[in-house]
C-alpha cells in the first residue's frame, strides 16, 4: 500500500475505536437486559479499553504483585508497540482521537508560521514521562492514583459522570415540553426521537453525580487546550502515551527521511500530531511520534516514508535527562507518604465512606482503584459517587455509596463486574449474601458495607408521635435487621398512642442503605449508614461476635 | 421656461458637488428620508412588540402553584350480577390453571373485559426478587390473565407497576416482564416523565402524581400478592394501589389505613385477583429468603375488594376485620363489605 493512503486508513481506525469506546460506555448500564434468567449480567465487554491498557496493567502489577484477571490483554497493545511504536496513540486511543479532532479545528493561535512553530518538539513534552515515573513509583508504594490521569479513566469519568448525564438532561428538557405540544406532528416526532434516544444513549432514570460540574469542566479545559497546541494532552500529560513512547524505543518501524530531497518547506510540520520533528535535518523523535502518518502524505517531495529496519540517526528514548528523571522518581517516592500522613486511613476513617460491595480493605483498595468511574456509571441506583475529601486526597474520585441518593440493590453485583482492576473484587450475588434463593442456604458471613443507626431525635415514631416504619418495610435482609417495639407515646393533644418504634440489629444489618434511602426525612434521614462494621475492614467492627 | 426650471435644481446640485467634496460625502453617509422612515418603522415595530410582550407577561404573573389537576375517581367496575359469586377461592393447582378457573367461576373474563377495551393489569412488581421469594405477583398468573384478556377481545393489554426497587431489575427478575411479553402484553416501565398530578379526593390523600397508564385504562385488573407486613399485619389488595402513585409515597405509612381507604376510593378495579400461590409469611413485604415462603397453591378472586382483603387476612394471618381499620373505612364509602361470610362465595378445589 502506498504510504500516502495511510492517513485515511488511520482516520477510519480512529473513528471505529472512538465509536466502539462510546458504545461500550453507553452499554455500561442496565439497558441491555438479557433473556429470562433472573441473574443480571452485562453482555458487552464494557471494560475492554481498560483491560488492554498497559498502564493500568503495569500499575496493577506493581501495586498488587499480580495481574487482575483480564489485564493480561494489555499484551495485545504492549507487544505490537515494541515493534511498531506508538501506533496505539495515533490509531486507537479515543482520547487521542478527540484531541486530534480538536487540534485540527481552525484556531487563532495556530496560523501559518505559528502552527509550524507549535508543532516543533518542545522541552515540556517530557512532562508526561515525569508524571509516568511518579505514577509508577507511587504504584510501587501502593497507590494507583495515576488513574487520575489514565486516558480511559479520564474519559469514562468525564463522559460517564458528567457529559452523558448532562446530555440526558438536555435531551429531556428539550423533548419533554415538545411531547406535550398541542400539535400532533411535533408530539409524535418528539416521542419517536425520545424513544430512539432512550434506546441508544439515555439512562432509564436520569443520573446525577457528585462533582459532575468539576469533572466536566476539567475535561473540557483539557480538550480545548488542543486548540492552542495540537494534542496538548498527548504530548504533555498522558502517562499511557509516555509508557508507550518509552517502550517504542526498540521499534523496528520508523520514519525514513530522505535528507537530500527535503527542501525544508515545513509542510510536514503543519499536521504533525506528536511534535516529533519529522522535518529533514532534525533528528526524528521516536518516543514522541504517534504514527499518524500525516507527514508522509503532506511531503511534496516524497522524502518521508515509514519503513521497517531503517538505520538512521534518531532520538529513540525520551529526552528526559538525569535531573528530570530524578524529579519524577522523587515525586513518586514522596507523594504516597505525604498523602497518607494526613488523616483518612486507619482509625480516622471517614464515617460516611461506604465502599461498594466486594471492595477490598482500604489499603488494598487504594492500590488498585484507578478512579475510572465504571462502577459509578453502571450502578442502576445511582448510588455510587466519586469522593471529594471523604477518602482523603489520595482517594479523590474513588467510589462511595451515597444512600440518600441510592442504596445498594441486594441482588446486584454489577459494580464488581465492571471494575477492571479488582479494587472491587468480582463477586456473585450468592457471595454478597443478602438474599437467599432456591436451593441456597443463607451465607454465614454476608458482605457488609456498614451499619445503620437511628437518629431518635428525628425519627417519626421516636420523636414525632407518628406511625412510619418505612425503613423496616424496605430492609432487604431476612430476618430483617430492623425490628420494632410497640411503645406508648403522648401526642401534643395529650392523647396516648401506641406506635411501632424501629431499632437496628447490628448483627443482621448489611449496610445497604435502603432504610436511609426510603426514610421520609429526605434532607437528613433519621436512619443512616456509617462504615463501622464493614466486612472488608477487620479493624472497623462493633460487635465481638458478628456472624 | 419649464426646461429652465427643470434644469436649475440639477445644475445647483452639480455645482455643490463640484464646489466642495466634504458635504457630499457627508450626505452619502446619511440615510435617505425613505430609509430613515423605514428604519423608524422597524424600530417602532420592535419597540411595540417588546412593550406588548412586556405587558402580556406582566399580566401573566402568578405565584407558582402546583399544576392543577384533574379530579376523577376511576371507577372501572362492571354491573353486579346475582348469577355469579362475588368472591371465589380456587385451590390446589398450578398458577395458570388456578387463574383460569378463578375467572371462570366469576363468570368468565368476557364479563369484565369488552371488545376494544384497553386493559391495564396491575401486578405487584415492587421488589428486586425472584418468583420463588414471593415478594412480587406470580409471573405465570400474570401471563394467564393477559391471555384471558386477549381472548375476551381486548384492544390493548398493558402490564405495569411503579416499583420500589430499581424498576428494570424488578420487572426482569420478577419474571413478569418476560412472561407478560410472551403472552403478548405491553410492559410499561415507570418512567419519570409518565406521571400526572391528580386530585385523589381522599381524606388524607389530596393531590398526587399518578402513573399515566392507570389513568387511561378502560378496565383495570388488580393482581396483588398476599404478604406479611409489620405495620398492618398483612399487605393485600388495596395496598397494591400504592404502586400507582409516584411522588414521596414513603409518607403514606403515617396514616396507612386512611391512605389505603383513600386510594381504594379513588381506584375501583374491574376485578381483583389475589395471588396466594406462594405466601410470604414473615419478613414482608420484601422477604428475600425462600424459608419465609409457604406454598399455598391458591388464587382468590372477586369483585368485592373489601371482602377479598378481609377473607385473605383471616384465612392466612387470622386477622379479624377490626384489626384492619381500612376495611371498615372502605366499606363506609360503599366499596364493599368486610363481612366476607355474607357475600356470594365459592370455593373450588382443582388438580
Q: Render pLDDT for A363-372 as a digit per residue (tens, 0 to 9).
A: 999 999 999 9
pLDDT, position A1 = 45
Domain holding B202, by residue range, is: 23-349
Average pLDDT over residues A463-490: 94
Q: What is the mean pLDDT of residues B281-291?
A: 90
Question: How many domains, chain B?
Answer: 1
Q: What is the mean pLDDT of residues A162-179?
A: 92
Q: Classify residue A432 as exposed, middle or buried by CB count within 10 Å of its CB (0-12, 13-18, 19+).
A: buried
Nearest Cβ partner for B289 among A38, A40, A478: A478
Bridge partner list, A490: A496
* Contact (CB<8Å) B130/A38: yes
Question: Which pLDDT does position B167 carry in this prediction?
Answer: 93
pLDDT at res. A547: 56
What pLDDT shows up at residue A455? 97
In Å, what is the CA distance from A279 to each residue of A178, A230, A265, A292?
56, 17, 9, 15
Tell me the backbone φ, ψ of residue A538, rounded to 5 degrees.
Answer: -65, -20
Convert the pLDDT of each residue in B242-267 to its tens digit.
999 999 999 999 999 999 999 999 99
Among A255, A280, A256, smallest CA distance to A266 is for A280
The owner of cell 525520551 is A318
The answer as to whether B206 is a domain residue is yes
Going by C-alpha positions, the residue among A243, A207, A202, A226 that lies closest to residue A88 is A243
Least confident residue range of A174-178, B120-124, B226-230, B238-242: A174-178
Residues of chain A neighbouring B175 (CB-CB closer than 8 A): 36, 38
Show residues of chain B in contact with A408, CB under 8 Å.
Answer: none
**What is the distance between the alpha carbons of residues B5 and A64, in angstroms, rounded to a whole number?**
106
Instruction: Say what the pLDDT of residue A113 is.
Output: 87
Are A384 and A401 spatial neighbours (Cβ–Cβ below 8 Å)?
A: yes
pLDDT greater than 90 at residue A441: no
- The predicted model gives A440-469 an average pLDDT of 92
Give residue B301's pLDDT band: very low, low, confident or very high (50, 70, 90). very high
B221 domain residue, yes or no: yes
Q: Tell me, what's the pLDDT at A100?
A: 95
| pLDDT for the residue numbered A297 | 86
Chain A: residue nearest B128 by CA? A411
B284 occurs within a structural domain:
yes
Mean pLDDT of chain A: 91
Fill in the DSSP letter of residue A360.
P
Point out which residues pair with B207 in neighbouring strands.
B199
Maximum CA pair distance of chain B?
A: 125
CA dist A75 and A51 (Å) reads 10
Model pLDDT, residue B177: 94
pLDDT (0 to 100) of residue A108 = 82
What is the dihedral angle through the alpha carbons of B227, B233, B237, B240, rounded to the nearest 10 degrees? -80
The whole-angstrom separation of Cα A278 and Cα A314 is 10
Query: Mean of the pLDDT values across residues A263-270?
Result: 89
Q: Are the CB atoms for B228 and B204 separated by under 8 Å?
A: no
- Asked if pLDDT for residue A49 goes beyond 70, the answer is yes
Angle between helix B2-19 and B21-29 (nearest 10) = 100
Per CB-CB distance under 8 Å, the chain B contacts of A519 are: 250
What average pLDDT does the structure give for chain B? 89
pLDDT for res A504:
97
Boundaries of every domain in chain A: 3-34+46-164+216-308, 349-530
Please give the share of chain A, as a percent, with pLDDT higher than 90: 68
> Cβ–Cβ of B133/A435 closer than 8 Å?
yes
Cβ contact, residue pair A380, B192, below 8 Å: no
CB B130 to CB A438 under 8 A? yes
pLDDT for the residue B4 = 45
Q: Decide if B128 and A437 are in contact by the 8 Å CB cutoff.
A: no
- Among residues A247, A251, A222, the alpha carbon closest in space to that of A136 is found at A247
Q: What distance in Å separates the CA atoms of residue B4 and residue B2, rounded to the nearest whole number?
A: 5
- A547 versus A471: the higher-pLDDT residue is A471
- Residue from B70, B85, B143 nearest B308 by CA: B85
**pLDDT confidence of residue B26:** 62
Quick check: B1 pLDDT over 50?
no
CA dist A23 to A14, A31, A170, B31, B96, Å?
14, 12, 20, 59, 41
Average pLDDT over residues A512-529: 96
Q: Give the per-residue pLDDT at B10.
A: 45
Spatial CA neighbour of A285 closest among A251, A258, A329: A251
- Banded pLDDT at B14 (limits 50, 70, 90): very low
State the average pLDDT over residues B12-28: 54
Instruction: Provide the pLDDT for residue B67.
Output: 60
Is residue B305 within 8 Å of residue B269, measured between CB atoms?
A: yes
Amino acid at each position: 500500500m502506498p504510504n500516502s493512503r495511510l492517513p485515511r486508513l488511520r482516520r477510519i481506525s480512529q473513528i471505529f475505536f472512538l465509536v466502539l469506546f462510546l458504545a461500550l460506555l453507553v452499554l455500561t448500564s442496565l439497558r441491555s437486559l438479557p433473556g429470562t434468567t433472573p441473574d443480571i449480567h452485562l453482555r458487552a465487554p464494557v471494560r475492554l479499553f481498560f483491560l488492554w491498557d498497559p498502564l493500568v496493567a503495569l500499575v496493577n502489577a506493581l501495586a498488587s504483585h499480580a495481574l487482575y484477571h483480564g489485564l493480561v490483554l494489555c499484551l495485545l497493545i504492549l507487544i505490537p508497540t515494541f515493534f511498531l511504536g506508538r501506533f496505539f496513540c495515533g490509531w486507537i486511543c479515543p482520547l487521542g482521537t478527540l484531541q486530534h479532532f480538536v487540534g485540527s479545528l481552525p484556531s487563532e493561535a495556530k496560523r501559518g508560521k505559528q502552527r509550524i512553530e507549535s508543532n516543533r518538539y518542545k522541552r515540556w513534552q517530557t512532562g508526561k514521562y515525569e508524571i509516568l515515573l511518579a505514577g509508577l513509583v507511587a504504584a510501587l508504594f501502593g497507590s494507583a492514583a495515576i488513574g487520575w490521569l489514565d486516558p480511559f479513566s479520564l474519559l469514562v469519568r468525564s463522559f460517564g459522570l458528567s457529559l452523558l448525564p448532562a446530555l440526558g438532561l438536555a435531551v429531556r428538557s428539550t423533548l419533554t415540553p415538545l411531547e406535550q405540544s398541542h400539535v400532533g406532528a411535533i408530539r409524535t416526532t418528539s416521542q419517536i426521537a425520545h424513544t430512539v434516544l432512550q434506546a441508544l444513549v439515555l439512562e432509564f432514570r436520569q443520573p446525577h453525580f457528585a462533582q459532575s460540574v468539576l469533572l466536566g469542566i476539567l475535561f473540557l479545559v483539557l480538550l480545548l487546550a488542543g486548540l492552542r497546541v495540537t494534542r496538548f494532552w498527548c504530548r504533555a500529560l498522558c502517562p499511557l502515551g509516555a509508557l508507550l513512547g518509552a517502550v517504542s524505543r526498540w521499534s523496528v518501524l520508523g520514519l525514513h527521511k530522505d535528507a537530500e530531497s527535503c527542501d525544508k518547506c515545513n509542510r510536514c510540520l503543519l499536521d504533525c500530531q506528536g511534535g516529533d520533528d519529522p522535518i529533514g535535518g532534525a533528528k526524528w523523535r521516536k518516543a514522541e511520534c504517534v504514527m499518524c502518518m500525516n507527514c508522509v502524505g503532506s511531503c511534496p517531495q516524497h522524502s518521508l516514508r515509514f519503513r521497517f529496519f531503517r538505520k538512521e540517526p534518531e532520538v529513540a528514548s525520551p529526552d528526559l535527562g538525569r535531573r528530570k528523571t530524578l524529579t519524577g522518581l522523587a515525586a513518586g517516592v514522596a507523594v504516597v507518604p505525604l498523602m497518607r500522613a494526613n488523616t483518612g486511613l486507619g482509625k480516622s476513617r471517614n464515617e460516611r465512606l461506604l465502599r461498594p460491595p466486594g471492595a477490598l480493605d482500604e489499603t488494598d483498595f487504594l492500590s488498585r482503584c484507578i478512579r475510572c468511574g465504571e462502577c459509578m456509571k453502571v450502578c442502576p441506583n445511582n448510588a455510587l459517587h466519586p469522593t471529594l475529601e471523604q477518602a482523603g486526597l489520595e482517594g479523590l474520585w474513588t467510589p462511595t455509596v451515597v444512600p440518600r441518593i441510592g442504596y445498594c440493590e441486594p441482588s446486584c453485583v454489577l459494580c464488581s463486574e465492571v471494575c477492571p482492576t479488582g479494587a472491587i473484587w468480582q463477586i456473585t450475588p450468592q457471595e454478597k449474601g443478602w438474599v437467599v434463593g432456591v436451593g441456597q442456604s443463607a451465607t454465614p458471613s454476608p458482605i457488609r458495607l456498614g451499619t445503620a443507626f437511628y437518629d431518635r431525635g428525628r425519627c417519626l415514631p421516636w420523636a414525632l408521635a407518628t406511625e412510619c416504619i418505612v425503613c423496616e418495610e424496605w430492609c432487604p435482609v431476612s430476618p430483617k435487621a430492623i425490628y420494632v417495639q410497640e411503645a406508648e407515646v403522648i401526642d401534643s393533644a395529650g392523647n396516648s398512642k401506641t406506635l411501632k418504634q424501629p431499632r437496628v440489629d447490628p448483627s443482621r444489618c448489611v449496610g445497604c442503605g435502603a432504610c436511609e434511602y426510603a426514610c421520609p426525612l429526605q434532607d437528613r434521614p433519621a436512619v443512616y449508614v456509617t462504615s463501622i462494621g464493614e466486612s472488608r475492614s477487620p479493624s472497623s467492627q462493633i460487635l465481638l461476635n458478628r456472624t | 421656461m419649464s426646461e429652465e426650471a427643470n434644469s436649475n435644481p440639477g445644475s445647483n446640485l452639480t455645482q455643490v458637488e463640484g464646489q466642495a467634496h466634504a458635504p457630499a460625502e457627508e450626505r452619502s453617509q446619511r440615510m435617505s428620508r425613505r430609509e430613515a422612515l423605514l428604519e423608524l418603522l422597524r424600530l417602532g415595530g420592535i419597540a411595540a412588540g417588546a412593550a406588548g410582550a412586556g405587558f402580556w407577561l406582566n399580566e401573566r404573573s402568578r405565584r407558582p402553584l402546583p399544576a392543577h389537576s384533574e379530579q376523577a375517581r376511576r371507577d372501572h367496575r362492571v354491573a353486579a350480577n346475582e348469577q355469579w359469586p362475588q368472591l371465589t377461592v380456587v385451590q390446589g393447582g398450578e398458577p395458570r390453571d388456578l387463574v383460569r378457573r378463578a375467572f371462570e367461576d366469576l363468570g368468565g373474563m368476557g364479563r369484565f373485559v369488552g371488545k376494544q377495551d384497553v386493559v391495564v393489569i396491575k401486578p405487584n412488581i415492587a421488589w428486586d426478587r425472584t418468583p420463588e421469594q414471593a415478594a412480587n405477583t406470580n409471573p405465570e398468573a400474570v401471563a394467564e390473565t393477559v391471555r384471558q384478556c386477549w381472548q375476551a377481545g381486548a384492544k390493548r393489554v398493558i402490564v405495569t407497576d411503579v416499583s420500589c426497587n430499581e424498576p428494570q431489575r424488578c420487572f426482569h427478575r420478577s419474571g413478569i416482564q418476560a412472561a407478560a411479553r410472551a403472552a403478548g402484553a405491553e410492559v410499561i416501565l415507570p418512567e419519570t416523565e409518565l406521571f400526572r398530578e391528580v386530585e385523589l379526593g381522599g381524606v388524607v390523600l389530596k393531590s398526587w402524581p399518578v402513573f399515566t397508564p392507570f389513568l387511561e385504562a378502560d378496565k383495570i385488573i388488580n393482581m396483588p400478592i398476599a404478604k406479611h407486613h409489620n405495620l398492618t399485619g398483612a399487605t393485600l389488595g388495596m395496598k397494591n394501589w400504592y404502586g400507582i402513585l409516584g411522588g414521596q409515597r414513603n409518607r403514606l405509612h403515617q396514616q396507612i389505613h386512611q391512605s389505603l381507604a383513600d386510594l381504594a376510593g379513588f381506584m375501583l378495579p374491574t376485578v381483583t385477583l389475589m395471588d396466594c400461590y406462594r405466601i410470604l409469611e414473615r419478613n414482608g413485604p420484601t422477604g428475600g429468603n425462600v424459608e419465609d415462603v409457604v406454598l399455598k397453591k391458591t388464587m382468590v378472586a372477586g369483585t368485592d375488594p373489601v371482602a377479598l382483603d378481609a377473607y385473605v387476612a383471616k384465612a392466612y394471618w387470622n386477622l379479624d376485620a377490626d384489626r384492619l381499620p381500612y376495611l371498615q373505612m372502605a366499606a363506609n364509602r360503599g366499596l364493599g363489605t368486610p363481612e366476607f361470610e355474607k357475600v356470594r362465595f365459592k370455593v373450588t378445589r382443582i388438580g
